[in-house]
Structure formats: structure tokens, C-alpha cells
Amino acid sequence: MAQTLAFVRSRSTGGGTGSPGDHHAVVEAALARLDLDAKTRLLAGQDLWTLPALPEIGLDSLVMSDGPVGVRGAAWSADDPSLCLPSPTALAATWDPALARRAGRVLAQEAHRKGAHVLLAPTVNLHRSPLGGRHFEAYSEDPLLTSRIGTGYVTGVQESGIAATVKHFVANDAETERFTVDNRVSERALRELYLAPFEAIVRDAGPWALMSAYNGVNGTTMTEHRALQTGVLREEWGFDGVVVSDWLAARDTVRAIEGGLDVAMPGPQTVFGPALAAAVRDGRVAESTVDRAVRRVLLLAARVGLLKGAAPVVPVGRRPAPLDGPGVAREIAARSFVLLSNRAGALPLDTSAVPSIALIGRAARDARFLGGGSATVYPARVVSPLDGLTEALPDGSILTYTMGADANDQLEVAAKGFELRAVLRDAHGHRLAEQPLALGRVRWMDGAIPAGVGYDALATVEITGTFTPLDSGTHHFGTSGTGDFRLTVDGTVLYDGADPEGGDPMEVLTGRAIPRGSAELEAGRPVEVSLLHRAPKVAFGPIRGVTFGLTHRDPQRDGDRLIEEAVAAARAADTAVVVVATTERVESEGFDRTNLRLPGRQDELVARVAAANPRTVVVVNAGAPVEMPWREDVAAILLTWFPGQEGGAALADVLLGREEPGGRLPTTWPARLEDAPVTRVSPEEGVLPYDEGLFVGYRAWERHATPPAYPFGHGLGYTTWEYLALTVADGCARVRLRNTGTRPGRETVQLYAEPVGPAGGRPARQLAGLATITAEPGETVDVEIPVADRTFQVWDEEAGAWDVVAGPYLLHAARSAADSVLTASVPLPPSDPGRS
């Protein structure tokens, strides 16, 4: 069965019952009733996540929430759980915009449940370098794949009545000095690579919001970038939504409003609000400029149903039918897993005999299911690989678990074995409130302080309760966040002191752990723990709140012993499954990676286990490329990304052959960091040149003498395919292929265009179209794939316009960027400028 996709444009204010005319009239009437102070207030966050309500015009408060794997909601804590989908790179690895659309729908459903109106996602920056700290949060190194997945996602969110926020506009591709870095990008690379996903999504999905990035581009900070935010985005592309700043990215009242920024987040102190009103009063900003921004905010409010008199684009009764969130999370996970290698049919595991599996790895038990930073959500449950396999294996199966190596050399938020609560007190030590905690972490921002306790009344917060160790030995304890702490375990004060504040606000918010002391504890004997924060209130610029935590690390086992135990278990089993992973110290928002090695002794572990058992399957649980020096020595490698809350269940589905691993690499996987085309993510004197121009990802690898470990687009399934025919007519390719295996399968058909003749500075080939199809054994399928117009266009920097480059071109139907199964020639580029 061939699957084709047709997205309904959802950009107009119409669609549901809210016609553009209705919205225009209501918005204008509302605007006319606002004075300057109210208008400028509406352009500034009133707290971390919301805009103020203006009852005088029937406007409710608009709530924004991250994004992109789940919807956190205004409270950011484990006590208010959220569905957690696989990481964005995993979603892109499905190469399936229809699935991305379902992801969008399920997240919109979550947003409605949590009272949010604007989802701060998707992230459509590119995988420029594997070192980028937020690599896991972006889709791909390729703008077309990014556009298609992003379009699906935004469509799904907005057809459910929630606004999507495409971010971070633009060239926010690394984290080092992210607030200030000035990325120097050629006009052509900007247009053909970095702006391209934003452009396609604006055109094809009509997002209602977009987030302006922290960084600068070619000398101007993005929140003030009139040429890009107004010239390109609004005037050229026709974007009619709201531009919201990244959190704390707006720095200058006049330059930001003149530069096209509509909303400065977070509040309450921002460069808009009273500062903007003052700028109008003293003649530095025209009131009509403020009005333009207010109109856009009111239109957004109307679209999501917050402005009285304006029908929302999607009325409650017309929302899509509810989806089973965990079911969608599990389906996306299995569809995203990339089978990188599979020697002698090691996978799926043979369950005809009684399976005997040695499961190995810290992440096999303590699932690493998402990347760190603002994308963090707290799901109600997480299925680890151990949970998933235990549940799925038939009765009588033998499943052993050993840790093998513990790469987490850091303290982690107190969780297993802890029973905790937070006690809030005033300056006289009187108890104001108490709140149970699912984890040893408090993160209350402004309004979210429990039981209505006023921020000013609060003097101390104590995280307290009991800890029952699983293992005897030396337990390490620590804090996260900054401030003045007293930490007591089992009656002994381990730490009493204060430390200075500072650093990246996001880092302080997400809380790096600091070791404070240790205690000798016995397995099974509960002890009292208390972490008293004597000055818990923090402010990062305008953000006020309480954010700190109790952290812990189990006794460290001897590394050699751990490996020996795993090797012995592997030797005794038919199959060894080793789960290797990065840690939150390696992949997170707020900093870039420094190398691509698996942390700790995991490489050694894999090599030793593989030597002991020829049927060693390695599961790579990482959001971005890692080096795999053992990759030729193991039976199979399955890449599972950060697979979301149902990852372990999906892993069992795929290992046992109930589902096929459906993923294809959305980004090239280098064998070694030094082979990667872009390895510099650190600015010098504030400037980061994108010297490689167009040559990122496979566009660059094509020119390298050294091949990557696995090319862009690579991924195996459980069946085999024969590509029978490729024809091209009227800008559309038709591919015929047959499932030649013995089980139903899914194939991702990839089209790459290769210019014949003078390259004109163009890459040797570029992705021109994609589709996923399914077929039964022996079934032949025809699939039609429109060839993206941009395949035949280059940005002419002198003319400041797109230029169609006459053919001929070769079109390859291929299973990766480094492959060609069938080739057809395209004599002249098609001339329909409407397609992406």
C-alpha cells in the first residue's frame, strides 16, 4: 500500500468557524479599546510562561509551554506528569511527515489537558555539527527532511487548535556562548540551508508563532534583525503569526520592536511593557509599530480561542479524535529505531526456541529517555529496556541483567529509594505549606509556589524525608542549583554553606549536581535525609523562583568487576544485548559536546562482551552521533536515540520482531569526530564563521576521501526490496518496488538529484524527495514522489533572488545518500514554483 500525503493548509484564520473576516474585525475592535499601557503590557510576559489577561477586552491569559517531546505545562515538576515522545531526531528518523503530524496532534491534546495554548516547538535548526549540545532536539542535517517533518508536526498541533512555535529563528545550531554568538553565514547558505525549513513550514503549515533565537546573524542579534524578521519572514514569506523572543533574548526596547519582535519573554521585567510605553511617549517608537505587534498577539489569541467574540480556528467540537498518547509514543519509537548493521540475521531474535538473553548496561535499567534542558518533561512512567523485555519475553525465557559499566559518574536527582516532601517556611521558621515530591527536585517559578504561598513570605525550603538504600556502601549526596544549604543524612551534617550564583540561567534552572559529602549506609535500612535551603529564592534577570535539588549517587562498584560480571553473563546466554548511552552531562541544552566518545568504560565493555559472545547486539541510546570503535565486531547495532517514555516497550517489539525498525539516519554518522565536516562550534571573540557554506552533512561528506561510518539515509529493515522502475514526468518521480522478503515491511524511498555539468558551487547531490511505503511479502508498490523545486534552484546573492538552474539532472532512487539503486534523467527543471 502506497502512502501519500496531502497536508491541508491551516494558516488562514478560517478553517473552523473563525473566518479571517471575523478575526480581523474582532482584533481591530479590541485594539481600539486598549490604551498604550495595556498594549505594551500585552507584549511582555507577566511571568515565566504567560501573557497577561486583559478583561476589559475579553482577553484571557495566553499560556506557552515547551516542547518539543512533551508539554510541560506552567508547572515544571514530576508532580504534574507529561507524556514524553521520542526525541525530535528520532521523529525525523521515521522520515514520515504523517507520523510527525500524529505526534503534533497528541502533543496538542496534552497542551489542552495542561491548559497551554502555545507549544514552544518544533526546533528546526540544523545538525551542522555533531558537537551541538541540542542536536537531539533538532531534526536533521538536511533542510528538506527538516521541512517535511516540521510541516507535519506543526500541522498536527494546529489542526488541534494549539499554536506551534517554530524555533529558533535562525542559525541557532550550537550552544557555546549561545546568548551572544554572532554566526557569520553567507546569504546563500542561509537561504538554501538554515532559513529553508522555516520558509517551507511557513508556506505549508502556516505556523501561528515563531521564536527568535538568542544568537546574532551577520552582526545583528536575531531579536533585532529587521531584515530577517520583517523583510524575509513577514514581507517575503507572508508570515502572519507572532514572533516571540527566546527566553531572555530580547535586550533592547527600540531595536527589538523595530526589528520585528512582538513578544518579549519571560516577564515580569522585560524590555517591552512599561519600557516600551515610555519609548512611545518620548517619541523613540511610533505607536503604530506597537499596534502592529499587538494586532498579531490578538490574532494569535483569537486563533486559540482566548479573545471574546472571535471563534477559535478549531472549536472544541471539531478537535481531532483523541489519540492514545503512550501508544503513539511506542509506535514512533519503533518507527524511529535505525538498524545500522545486522550480521547473519542476528535480529530479530529467534524466539522459536526458549530465548536466553544477557541484558547489559546502566541505561538498560535506568532508561535514558530524553535529552536535557528546556525539552525536559516528567512522564508518569518510563519503560526501561529491562522493563520492556521482562514484560515481552515468553514464559520460560531466561533474562539476566548486569550493569557492565556505569557511565554516570555524576550525582543524579534523588529518585529510587527516596520518599520526599518539601516544607516551606517563613522567616520565623513557621511552616507555611508542605508538598510531596516525586523526585528530590523543587522547581517553582513565580506563580507556581505551592499552596498559594506568596513569594515574599517564603524564607526557607527544606527537601526532607527518608532514603532506603538498595546497596550497602558509600553513598554520595549533593545539591543542584545555587544558594545557601544545609545537607543532613542519617543525623550527620554533610554540608553547611553557601556558594556564589551565576552561569547560564538554563543551566541553573536545570541544575547541575554538586557533590557535598558521603555516608556509609546499609542496604534496606531507612535513614532520614534533609536538604535545607536557607535562601531559596533566585532571580535570573526577570525570572524569579525557587529551583534546587537533592542529588545522590549509589556506591560505586569496581569497574573491572562490573565488566567481568557482564562478560560472564554474556558467555552464558544465547544473545547479549548491550545498551550503551550518553549521559545528561554529555547531551543537553546549555553547552556543546567536546567529543563523540561514549562516556566511561562502555567501549571497553562492548568489545569484551562481543569477544565473549558472537551474538552481541548493541543498542545505542544517544540523541546524536557517538563513535563506535567496535562497530565491525558486533552482530547488530540498533540506534534507539532518546526513545521517550515507552522506549523499552518499543525496543522489545523490535528486538523480538513484532515491529520492524523503521528508522533511517536523518544525519550522517561519522566514524570519528575529526572526520566530521564541521567540528568547530566555539566562537572566537564572539564570532563563529560558517566557513563551510553549503557543505554540511552529506553535502560535505560527498567530497571527503574518508567515508562516514554510516551515511545519511542509511537504515536496514527486516525484509528485502527490489527497486523495479524509476520514471520522472511533470516534476514527479514514480518508483516501483517490490517486497522480496518473507514478512511485511516498510521502506523509505529516497530521491537524490545530481546536477550534470558545471556544479556552480552546488553539492554533488541533494535530497529531492521522500516517501515511506508499506508492502506485504511479494507485493509490488508504485509510489509517486513530487520532486522539490528547490532541487533546481540556487540563491543568487547578487540578484537577491532564486535562480532556476537548467538541467540536465540525474535523479537517483536510493537507500542512502551514498547509494543509487535506480537512476533517471531529468532534462529540464519543472517550472511549478509552488512546490517545496
Q: How far is the CB of 540 from ligand BGC (least distance, A)?
A: 10
212 closest CA partner among 186, 165, 247, 246: 246
Q: Which is nearer to ligand BGC, 167 or 765 (CB)?
A: 167
Smallest gap from Cβ 223 to ligand BGC, in A, equals: 13
Select 179 or 802, whichever has its Cβ closest to ligand BGC.
179
Could you tell me the CA-to-CA distances from 303 to 26, 109, 625, 788 in Å, in that order? Answer: 11, 16, 39, 31
| Rounded least distance, CB 92 to ligand BGC, Å | 17
Taking CB atoms, the residue at the shortest distance from ligand BGC is 374
Where do we find the cell 506568596? 454
Nearer to ligand BGC, 250 or 650 (CB): 250
User: SS3 of 49, please?
Assistant: coil
Instruction: Decide whether 582 or 588 has the Cβ nearer to ligand BGC.
Output: 588
Nearest to 319 by CA among 114, 99, 118, 157: 157
Q: Give the span between the Cα atoms of 273 and 263, in whole angstroms.
A: 10
Which residues have CB under 8 Å from 761's CB, separation 6+? Answer: 188, 693, 694, 794
CB of 329 to ligand BGC, least distance (A): 21
In the three-class reduction of DSSP (H, G, I as helix; E, B as strand; rest coil), residue 90 is classed as helix
The smaller minimum CB distance to ligand BGC, of residues 224 and 246, is found at 246
Q: What is the rounded CA–CA span in Å between residue 760 and residue 766? A: 14
Task: Give the 3-state secondary structure of 600-643.
Answer: CCHHHHHHHHHHHCCCEEEEEECCCCCCCCCCCCCCEEEECCCC
| CA neighbor of 259 nearest in space, from 238, 214, 228, 281 | 228
The three three-digit cell numbers of residue 199, written as one number: 520558509
* 8 A C-beta contact, residue 334 and residue 85: no
User: Beta strand 473-480 with 537-540: parallel, antiparallel or unpaired?
Assistant: unpaired
246 has catalytic annotation: yes
Cα 582 to the chain's mean position, in Å?
A: 16
State the residues that interact with ligand BGC by CB under 6 A. Answer: 66-67, 120, 167, 246-247, 374, 506
- Output the smallest distance, CB 210 to ligand BGC, in A: 12
Q: Are 290 and 257 in contact (CB under 8 A)?
A: yes
- From the CB of 452, what's the least distance to ligand BGC, in Å? 24
Distance in Å, CB of 88 to ligand BGC, minimum: 11
CB of 247 to ligand BGC, least distance (A): 4
Nearest CB to ligand BGC, comparing residues 120 and 771: 120
Least CB distance from residue 456 to ligand BGC, whole Å?
Answer: 25
Q: Which is nearer to ligand BGC, 172 or 602 (CB)?
A: 172
Cα separation, 480 vs 812, whole angstroms: 52
Task: Name the pairing type of β-strands 636-639 and 338-342.
Answer: antiparallel
* For ligand BGC, the closer CB: 66 or 96: 66
Task: Give the span between the Cα atoms of 384 and 645, in whole angstroms.
Answer: 8
| Strands, E assignment, 534-595 | 537-540, 543-553, 575-581
- Burial call 521-542: b when 16+ CB within 10 Å, e when fewer: beeeeebebbbbbeebbbebeb
Q: Which is nearer to ligand BGC, 247 or 690 (CB)?
A: 247
Find the catalytic residue in 182, 246, 262, 554.
Answer: 246
Contact, 125 vs 168, CB < 8 A? yes
The residues annotated as belonging to the active site are 246
